[in-house]
Amino acid sequence: VFIKNMITGTSQADCAVLIVAAGTGEFEAGISKNGQTREHALLAYTLGVKQLIVGVNKMDSTEPPYSESRFEEIKKEVSAYIKKIGYNPAAVAFVPISG
- pLDDT value for 10: 83
Q: Is the pLDDT of residue 2 over 80?
A: no
User: Residue 49's domain spans which residues?
Assistant: 2-96
Mean pLDDT of the chain: 94
Contact indicator for 49, 87 with CB cutoff of 8 Å: no
CATH code of the domain covering residue 27: 3.40.50.300
- pLDDT value for 7: 81
Q: What is the domain count for the chain? A: 1
- pLDDT value for 9: 81
For 34-62, how does the pLDDT look when each residue is reduced to its tens digit (9 = 90+)? 999 999 999 999 999 999 999 999 999 99
CA–CA separation, 47 and 79 (whole Å): 19
